[in-house]
Chain A
């Protein structure tokens, strides 16, 4: 595995501040955070509860508005789009194909089959899946014999793999995963994490994952640490032990 000599940003967050509420009850969730997530890399965001890691992800993914700062999403050619300048409809359209999501609760539509769920973002965008790419994703995720099932007929691990496929099929510029293993047993969790790493290393995807589990973070190429709404550390090629140490230092 040769590491890329030239890195290209996928998402760049600059001076990001997010304040909830106002007046006496105002809570600053993010305080002037600047961070860049490189393309073709698997980055984990970590931090204690209330550190702002989820807020950072929501803002970076264009799901939440920001109080100050910019969020730039870069396409393969390096052209930047400032998400903070887009209206709701433009943001929504952009999310369909340029951003993928994997949620802790899987969030599949119970009325649709696994395959219909996978194809939903492309359907919404009015596009067809590239058959070869679809075949690859289905094969890698081991979903070939589950495509016609509805979510209620699938195990948690299978549901999360369908969710991964849904995120990957449009070949987005970045996939955000929010505690993707939080609702899975450890074996299913390992499978999903392995797949996310595989999709980055072998298939060239970009993944940003929020987690509080050091073992999960160890699958990433880089760990960004957050505490009290500010950046509090940055680890390259993390292991479970190095992440644990870093988290301990945060508490100190």
Chain B
């Protein structure tokens, strides 16, 4: 029997190429992701050990009551040094420190200033590599290589940092320090200074960590025990080896997250590949029905037929999986490039690691998916009656009524359950649970749509095909008829595209909405051009803007409007909330909330609450609400509700009048200053004027609203490209599926094609019929997939971002492009089968 299988495979090699490619692509993606994960992890381990190089015992500061680590003291450092067996111990201290760029503005990362780091201590235990030397005295500093290359600072240059009071201090760079891929300081500037200098600048007194080197012959774990004993409970003491492993594990969790996210896309590709494999076997076995019947006539049992088919599948699965693993190595390389470019993942370079895990997983998955996909067709083949060998081939598939009803009922159940779960999810208030439930509902409903596909695909194809046939005439009519002749086959073929295109559509709705929502939060609804905010030191501390800054701006003719805003975290009816106020000169003119109800006008006794946020959703005009800022609480009346986004303040729950805010929080500096350029003032001159005024305020971050918007668009487009690229594999496999189905159909329709040629179809028209058939499948798959994305995209957006009042965007242009692309790609996939069909001689009319 095996000989028959091998002979069959040899005879039909060409017909199986597309299936093989589908397996290779599907397995390649998964294996590549796993290989990528291993490689990234290896890279992280290599480079992360550096943070604790030559450290024998590490002491970490205990976590304080607020979740922030408390600092280790000089007394504790002295206690460690006094432990017998300790050769040396150094305290590492760090604190937020603003570094200025050459233009004199602070360099920030998501509004946060960079880090200052002490460089004192044993050179062997430094957490960095250095090019140059460490600062030897006052006036000298080192800088991290990443910042140096961005800002074009070199050894010998002068850099300026600003202390918490706003005073500038200049240093000469005596070296550049490299942290490898450490995520600890990723994206931040790191200035290395002597500990005393750092303490003077940042006010930090104490250490994040104490690193210990052991005297010769003292074991790490013994010493760690002694250090712990000397310090008592509180500080966390670990051996150097343990610390290095912890650091690497912390870092690899990033790689693991990437890998898990990528695996989702890998699984999608596999599912699509499974559809393609299933379809191939279904068609092949249908074509081979006479062969199978002949085998049965000659005495093959049902079991032998079944086993032979599965053996065939297993062979293809194994060969495809082997190819897939090789392909996966390439995929792993590509993923590094893709992630580093598209999302600046900053992954460490490392030679690709191909472990046994990914190889075995790839082989298992390839074999498993192929065999499982072939199960149903194989079972069907066993039902072949020996008599079929003597009969004419069936020309059209007629599905029984009962089967159609069973299918319809199963589909209705799945869709019904999916809709029910979705509705439950939409009503859930917790955004994570809601999103998860809606996605689960979507998967169920999609499954239902897939099950039902053979029932409606013919009608949909006919509907899409009607206008095409009207324009393109007879070949299109024949193409529509061909696409409808075997609804099961067409449904499976288009389902693969449905999945890929549907997910891309979903992502485009999600990301488009994310962009619009974020833009809305950033820009607010107010006609301002610049937003100024103090740099942030940590979650709770932000540099304030002296009121004089706004006054100086108002004096400049380049600006037609300047608004000051104050913000404070407080409570609304006891719930945590952000309360803000806008100065009276701008409120109602430059800054006028577009009220959803009531009025925006405020007096001492009223408050405007956000109409979009969950905290305030229950409040109505006229309600009384207690407002707490700082130590004081007052009861105010709701005057109106409105979306309250102000650029520079992340999320505002309530606005009170300027005077009321002063009553509550006391007089203070501004949180945000907004400026609108005067008409006829160019962007450059308004920016110049702003920079001039800001020279005296080095802790001020200036954002141009236009720049923020375009930055955001760039980021979103990069993400869209990333998702598009990842889902592209699924679409590519789907296209191979279309090519496969068509080329098998061409084989099946040899005589029909020849007849058509004999009675007057030109070669070009014959090619056209196949191209149109593919095009129809492409369009139908894309349209149904996009329809799904359009339903579930907005639902997920609302569930995920309900708290901030999301804006749902449907990128119609992009979606239309997607349909056109799917149609064109499907037609391209049909080029080879069409050429083969047209090449066949007309002599095929005769048996």
A positions within 8 Å CB-CB of B: 54, 58, 63-64, 88-89, 92-93, 95-97, 101, 103-105, 107-112, 120-121, 123-126, 150-152, 166, 178
A89 proximity list for chain B (CB < 8 A)? 762-764
Shortest C-beta distance, B713 to chain A (Å), equals 49
Shortest C-beta distance, B748 to chain A (Å), equals 11
Instruction: Provide 15 A-B residue pairs closer than 8 Å at the C-beta atoms, listed in order of the A residue.
Output: A63-B843, A64-B842, A88-B762, A92-B763, A101-B759, A104-B846, A105-B846, A105-B847, A107-B755, A110-B752, A112-B481, A124-B760, A125-B760, A152-B398, A166-B759
Docked Cα-Cα span, A151 to B625, in Å, equals 79
Closest 6 CB pairs of A and B: A96-B760, A111-B481, A110-B395, A107-B755, A92-B762, A124-B760
Contact partner of B395 among A95, A96, A104, A152, CB < 8 A?
Answer: A152
- Place the interface of chain B in its size category: 20 to 34
Judging by beta carbons under 8 Å apart, are B761 and A92 in contact? yes
Judging by beta carbons under 8 Å apart, are B760 and A64 in contact? no
Closest to B395 in A: A110
A166 proximity list for chain B (CB < 8 A)? 759
Shortest C-beta distance, A184 to chain B (Å), equals 14
Shortest C-beta distance, B395 to chain A (Å), equals 4
Closest to A151 in B: B395
Judging by beta carbons under 8 Å apart, are B761 and A111 in contact? no
Shortest C-beta distance, B285 to chain A (Å), equals 19
Shortest C-beta distance, B424 to chain A (Å), equals 44
Judging by beta carbons under 8 Å apart, are B751 and A107 in contact? yes
A93 proximity list for chain B (CB < 8 A)? 760, 762
Judging by beta carbons under 8 Å apart, are A124 and B474 in contact? yes
Docked Cα-Cα span, A95 to B751, in Å, equals 17
Q: Which of A54, A64, A124 has the most CB of B within 10 A?
A: A124
Judging by beta carbons under 8 Å apart, are B478 and A111 in contact? yes
**Quick one: which of B450-484 are within 8 Å of A by CB?**
473-474, 477-478, 481-482, 484
B758 within 8 A of A: yes
Docked Cα-Cα span, A58 to B757, in Å, equals 13
Task: Give the interface SS of chain B, mostly helix, strand, loop or mixed.
Answer: helix
Judging by beta carbons under 8 Å apart, are A63 and B758 in contact? yes
B765 within 8 A of A: yes
B334 within 8 A of A: no
**Quick one: which of B639-697 are within 8 Å of A by CB?**
none
Judging by beta carbons under 8 Å apart, are B843 and A109 in contact? no
Tell whether A95 pairs with B474 under 8 Å between CB atoms, given A103-B846, A110-B395, A111-B481.
Answer: no
Docked Cα-Cα span, A247 to B762, in Å, equals 39
Shortest C-beta distance, B676 to chain A (Å), equals 66
Docked Cα-Cα span, A6 to B145, in Å, equals 103
Shortest C-beta distance, A122 to chain B (Å), equals 9
A121 proximity list for chain B (CB < 8 A)? 759-760
B845 within 8 A of A: yes
Total cross-chain contacts (CB, 8 A): 84
Q: Which of B755, B759, B762 has the most CB of A within 10 A?
A: B759
Docked Cα-Cα span, A43 to B755, in Å, equals 23
Closest to A179 in B: B846
Contact partner of B846 among A97, A112, A151, A178, CB < 8 A?
Answer: A178
| Additional 19 contacts, C-beta under 8 A, given A63-B758, A105-B751, A112-B481 | A63-B842, A88-B762, A89-B763, A95-B758, A95-B759, A101-B758, A101-B845, A103-B845, A104-B846, A105-B847, A107-B751, A109-B755, A111-B484, A112-B478, A121-B760, A123-B474, A124-B765, A152-B395, A152-B396
Judging by beta carbons under 8 Å apart, are A109 and B752 in contact? yes
Q: Which of B395, B484, B763 has the most CB of A within 10 A?
A: B395
Closest to A61 in B: B758
B267 within 8 A of A: no
Shortest C-beta distance, B192 to chain A (Å), equals 77
Judging by beta carbons under 8 Å apart, are B845 and A107 in contact? yes
Judging by beta carbons under 8 Å apart, are B843 and A120 in contact? no
Docked Cα-Cα span, A199 to B491, in Å, equals 45
Judging by beta carbons under 8 Å apart, are B759 and A124 in contact? yes
Docked Cα-Cα span, A78 to B485, in Å, equals 44
Query: Scoring B residues 310 to 334 as 1 if CB is less than 8 Å from chain A, else 0, what string do you get?
Result: 0000000000000000000000000
Docked Cα-Cα span, A178 to B846, in Å, equals 9
Shortest C-beta distance, A247 to chain B (Å), equals 22
Closest to B398 in A: A152
Docked Cα-Cα span, A103 to B761, in Å, equals 17
Shortest C-beta distance, B98 to chain A (Å), equals 74
B295 within 8 A of A: no
A58 proximity list for chain B (CB < 8 A)? 843
B443 within 8 A of A: no
A104 proximity list for chain B (CB < 8 A)? 846-847
B482 proximity list for chain A (CB < 8 A)? 111
B756 within 8 A of A: yes
Judging by beta carbons under 8 Å apart, are B474 and A120 in contact? yes
Tell whether A54 pairs with B396 under 8 Å between CB atoms, given A109-B756, A111-B481.
Answer: no
A92 proximity list for chain B (CB < 8 A)? 757, 760-763
Judging by beta carbons under 8 Å apart, are A126 and B473 in contact? yes
Judging by beta carbons under 8 Å apart, are A124 and B847 in contact? no
Closest to B481 in A: A111
Judging by beta carbons under 8 Å apart, are A88 and B763 in contact? yes
Tell whether A95 pairs with B478 under 8 Å between CB atoms, given A107-B845, A110-B485, A111-B485.
Answer: no
Shortest C-beta distance, B271 to chain A (Å), equals 30
Judging by beta carbons under 8 Å apart, are B481 and A120 in contact? no
A110 proximity list for chain B (CB < 8 A)? 395-396, 485, 752
Q: Which of A54, A93, A109 has the most CB of B within 10 A?
A: A109
Shortest C-beta distance, B660 to chain A (Å), equals 77
B760 proximity list for chain A (CB < 8 A)? 92-93, 95-97, 120-121, 124-125
Shortest C-beta distance, A150 to chain B (Å), equals 7
